[in-house]
Amino acid sequence: QQQVKQSPQSLIVQKGGISIINCAYENTAFDYFPWYQQFPGKGPALLIAIRPDVSEKKEGRFTISFNKSAKQFSLHIMDSQPGDSATYFCAARVNEKLTFGTGTRLTIIP
Amino acid sequence: DAGITQSPRHKVTETGTPVTLRCHQTENHRYMYWYRQDPGHGLRLIHYSYGVKDTDKGEVSDGYSVSRSKTEDFLLTLESATSSQTSVYFCAISAATSGGGETQYFGPGTRLLVL
């Protein structure tokens, strides 16, 4: 049972544009929602995270928007750069365990 | 990198042979995890540990066993490797974030090919 659904599977954005990745969850017991960035041949690295009592969190060019009633959250990358090209995973935590989305391969083109 | 190392980093083995992957951490974290990563599936939890000798199953635990005899080491064993276990395996620990929460940090991964 997939408890975290992530879309799109792949995304191509022009340099300087806004990249948006969406996730939806079912389990209302989730209490923490991190996003991970992964480059080829590397392990996933924590990018930004949010708690469900906050509607938005911003760190530099990266913003998480969280809609508790809709059980959805999204990652926005402003002014996208070629160095942002990577695979992004959303995740949700309950009882010290993470459930991951299936990932979005983001490509930033010049 | 949260002080996590994995060994070996690459391994090729034959169907039916046992394989053990090692995860080593240097910062005394209580929780450790093993995941596998496959295209189209993201990361899936195999087993996790919440202390020495304390382990529990994840969502894809069949065919895998784990052991944790020391805080710093978490071993994943494939008793009799099958081709379906060809994957990239990641170890993770749970640690505090700079924002005051706690989440998981990942090792560099082990790429396993079962022929």
Supply the pLDDT for residue B106: 96
Residue indicated by tokens 């020495």:
B52
Report CB contact under 8 Å: B45, A97.
yes
Lookup: tokens for A43: 């392990």
The residue of B33, B98, B104 whose CB has the most chain A CBs within 10 angstroms, and thus the best one to mutate to test that interface, is: B104
pLDDT in tens, A70-80: 999 999 999 99
Supply the pLDDT for residue B2: 67
Supply the pLDDT for residue A2: 58
Report CB contact under 8 Å: A46, B97.
yes
Average pLDDT over residues B18-32: 95
pLDDT in tens, B32-76: 999 999 988 889 999 999 999 999 999 999 999 999 999 999 999
Count of H-run helices and E-run strands, chain A: 0, 11
Which regions in chain A score pLDDT beneath 50?
Answer: none
Is A74 within 8 Å of A50 (Cβ atoms)? no
Query: Is pLDDT of B100 > 70?
Result: no
Measured over the CA atoms of residue B57, residue B104, residue A41 and residue A64, the dihedral's sign is: positive
Is A72 within 8 Å of A90 (Cβ atoms)? no
What average pLDDT does chain B have? 94
A7: contact with B, CB 8 A cutoff: no
**What does each C-alpha distance from A16 to A65, A81, B43 come to in angstroms?**
20, 6, 30
Is A97 within 8 Å of B104 (Cβ atoms)? no
